[in-house]
Amino acid sequence: MKILRGIAVSPGVAIGPVLVLAPRGPRLTRRAIPASAVAAERRRLDRALESARIEAEAAEGDARSRLGPQYADILAAHVRMIADPSLRREAAARIERDRIAAEHAVFDVLDGYARRLERLGTAHLAARAADVRDIQRRILEQLTGQPPSPAPANAPVEPLLLLAEDLTPSEAAALDPGRVLGFATESGGRTSHTAIIAAALEIPAVVGLGRVLDEARDCRSAIIDGDEGLVVLDPDEATLSRYRRQAVERATRFAELASLADLPTETADGQRVHLLGNIEFPAEVDACRERGADGIGLFRTEFFYLGTDGPPGELQQAEAYAAVIRALEGRPVTIRTLDLGSDKAEPGRAQHVEPNPALGLRSLRRSLREPNTFRTQLRAILRAAAETGGDVRVMFPLVTTLDEFRQAKATLRDVAAELQAEGIPARADLPVGAMIEVPAAAIMSDLLAKEVDFFSIGTNDLTQYILAADRTNETVADLYTSADPAVIRLIDMVARAAGDAGIEVTVCGSIAGEPLYTMLLLGLGIHRLSTPPHQLPEVKRVIRAARSEEARALAREALRCGSAAEVLDLLQRALRRALPDDPALAGDDGA
């Protein structure tokens, strides 16, 4: 048995036989051509681009029917890249200048694009390089007649686990959950389109394992643990028995949790709690409603930009926002304005590589520097709110100073007046909130609370900034924890400022979806939690088991702790007391 550790990107556990895919990459022998063959090679290039475009359109159509429009838009961007005249122009120029075959010209051009993205040194842009290599593969298959062997869609019929060097977004979108129980890859990250599609398919997935295919080729079976980011090759009987038992317990627990969806979200002593959903795409609204969400506490809007080859238009955005607002049927929808930065860059935009993107031009500060993009998004939000008449709130990310928030709010007022002057219906009365993700904003929260309509605490960024520990850097992973007393004290400070000002405060960072933290947050006076859809049932179960006074006592004790280890031990003991019948907690010794 061998245990491999990677990055969990889609939850769940899958057990089964293994298919190891052959390494990707074209098998090309460089081939020179005479001048007389240049015209023929250009015609080959044109035919291959057209065939690849048609194939990509078919993949987009399939994804649109099975996964929904937002996921299909990822593949639609591939279609546009293949059809981009500049790709044909550059490849044709190489055929003429270097006297090389069309496949080599295509390989060189797209390899250059991908390498430049990878050299920019951020996880997000490296993930976008995978999209470039996906279209490179499509075109080269047309030119060389060398399809992947075996391709995921052509895998044996028996349900199995896929292990691969990587899966392109189009390959992931083509997976049949009835035949592929889960997959794991050597490369990839949390922000890749492949990871996003895996979560949409609800297939357990682990990426970023490193070089493991050679030792996996001879394994007979495996376990993919998409909760913990583990792959177990040839598990022994004890491990298999443990995972199978956990699978039965998980299925039983999920069935029980599903019955909570229609029950009120309140503590055992009647304290009302608002449990909301975090979404990336409009299609996720259904999952939130099915799991009993009270609304959307965080609608991220970055993927409208990252999944396309240019900024989306005002009407395109307004339609997407309106679709979510209508689907919620009067429940609140909090739309976060763009949280783009050097680690999340739009296609088609010149990139400035910053030495420390987390401390650079990102989120609200970038929106204020790029008013046209910002105003277009605000116009779309105000139009969607007016068109639907829904409960819509606007939230600015990474607010650092009072002046910054005031400038953003003034822009919102200007945009509303501009729309009204144009005779376009727009809502000018939307509640406006600030995300508390920077220690400066938390420290100034008593003054900021006088000017905002609500707070939302983004604990992921707040934790990394408080502890000076990059949340994507494994070398400081031991420092990065929201259980650190300094983090808890700042959350308490923000919650008190909100309470004194009489405004709502929500936690929408990752700890909002972790049952271990639920009672602590309730005890700190936070009664609005926003989580990814799949985490809603577990958090609701803890809420309904908690008692307000016990939660407050837990928070008081946690605020006196001197280390994260003390806090975690305290929270684990409190969770076991609240859920004494949970077998998953019975053997937890707090380590």
Q: Cα(221)–Cα(212) distance, rounded to whole angstroms?
A: 15
Residue 193 appears among annotated catalytic residues: yes
CA dihedral 54, 57, 59, 65 (to 10 degrees): -140
Q: Is the torsion defined by CA of 332, 538, 535, 555 positive or negative?
A: positive
Q: Are residues 87 and 106 in the same domain?
A: yes
Which residues have a Cβ under 8 Å from the Cβ of 89 and sit 6 or more positions away?
none
- 437 annotated binding-site participant: yes
3-class secondary-structure state, position 200: helix
Number of domains comprising the chain: 3
Long-range own/partner contacts, residues 267-270 (CB < 8 A, 24 or more apart):
267/522, 267/543, 267/544, 267/546, 267/547, 267/548, 267/551, 268/544, 268/545, 268/546, 268/547, 269/547, 269/548, 269/549
- Select which of 219, 288, 508, 561 is catalytic: 508
Q: Is the torsion defined by CA of 335, 338, 344, 348 positive or negative?
A: positive
Q: Are residues 265 and 391 in the same domain?
A: yes
Q: Answer yes or no: is 225 within a domain.
A: yes
Extended strands (E) in 6-154: 7-10, 13-20
Could you tell me the residue range of the domain that residue 58 belongs to? 35-144
> Which of 253, 271, 305 represents a domain boundary (last residue)?
253
Q: Are residues 120 and 156 in the same domain?
A: no
Residues 70, 301: contact at Cβ < 8 Å? no
The tokens for 160 are: 């199995």
Which residues have a Cβ under 8 Å from the Cβ of 4 and sit 6 or more positions away?
184, 209, 210, 212, 230, 231, 232, 233
> Which of 104, 129, 144 represents a domain boundary (last residue)?
144
Q: Are residues 438 and 545 in the same domain?
A: yes
pLDDT confidence of residue 349: 46
What CATH number has the domain bearing residue 131?
1.10.274.10
Bridge partners for 392 per DSSP: 333
pLDDT confidence of residue 29: 58
Q: Answer yes or no: is 30 within a domain.
A: no
Q: Answer yes or no: is 78 within a domain.
A: yes
- 372 annotated binding-site participant: no
Q: Answer yes or no: is 77 within a domain.
A: yes
pLDDT in tens, the chain (591 residues): 999 988 888 888 999 988 887 655 555 656 788 889 999 999 999 999 999 899 888 888 877 776 666 567 677 778 888 888 888 999 999 999 988 889 889 888 888 887 777 665 555 555 667 778 788 888 888 888 765 544 555 555 578 898 888 777 667 777 777 788 899 988 777 656 677 677 767 789 998 888 888 778 778 889 999 888 899 999 999 999 999 988 888 777 777 788 888 899 999 999 999 999 998 777 788 889 989 999 999 998 886 775 555 667 899 899 989 999 999 999 999 999 998 764 444 444 444 556 677 788 888 999 999 999 999 999 999 999 999 999 999 999 999 999 999 999 999 999 999 999 999 999 989 999 999 999 999 999 999 999 999 999 999 899 999 999 876 565 677 788 999 999 999 999 999 999 999 999 999 988 999 999 999 999 999 999 999 888 899 999 999 999 999 999 999 999 999 999 999 999 999 999 999 877 666 544 333
Are β-strands 205-207 and 221-225 bridged in parallel, bridged antiparallel, or unpaired? unpaired
Q: Answer yes or no: is 28 within a domain.
A: no
Q: Are residues 513 and 448 in the same domain?
A: yes
pLDDT confidence of residue 30: 63
What CATH number has the domain bearing residue 322?
3.20.20.60
- 214 annotated binding-site participant: no
CA dihedral 566, 570, 573, 578 (to 10 degrees): -160
Q: Cα(379)–Cα(311) distance, rounded to whole angstroms?
A: 14
Using a 10 angstrom Cβ sphere, with 0-12 exposed, 13-18 middle and 19 or more buried, the burial of residue 108 is middle
Q: Are residues 170 and 228 in the same domain?
A: yes
pLDDT confidence of residue 350: 44
Bridge partners for 420 per DSSP: none
Closest by CA to 442, choosing from 398, 493, 393, is 493
Q: Answer yes or no: is 323 within a domain.
A: yes
pLDDT confidence of residue 589: 38
Q: Are residues 50 and 131 in the same domain?
A: yes
> pTM here?
0.71
CA atoms within 13 A on the CB side of 160: 18
Q: Which amino acid, residue 133?
A: R
Q: Are residues 380 and 527 in the same domain?
A: yes
Q: Are residues 124 and 159 in the same domain?
A: no
Q: Cα(264)–Cα(563) distance, rounded to whole angstroms?
A: 35
- 461 annotated binding-site participant: yes
Q: Answer yes or no: is 29 within a domain.
A: no
- 154 annotated binding-site participant: no
Residues 324, 387: contact at Cβ < 8 Å? no
Q: Answer yes or no: is 518 within a domain.
A: yes
Q: Cα(141)–Cα(374) distance, rounded to whole angstroms?
A: 41
Identify whether 69 is preceded by a cis peptide bond (ω within 30 of 0). Answer: no
- Select which of 104, 124, 193, 527 is catalytic: 193
Q: Are residues 290 and 209 in the same domain?
A: no
What CATH number has the domain bearing residue 234?
3.50.30.10
> Which of 106, 121, 144 represents a domain boundary (last residue)?
144
The tokens for 442 are: 């938390």
Residues 20, 213: contact at Cβ < 8 Å? yes
- 460 annotated binding-site participant: yes
First to last CA, the chain: 24
Q: Are residues 238 and 267 in the same domain?
A: no
Q: Are residues 286 and 198 in the same domain?
A: no
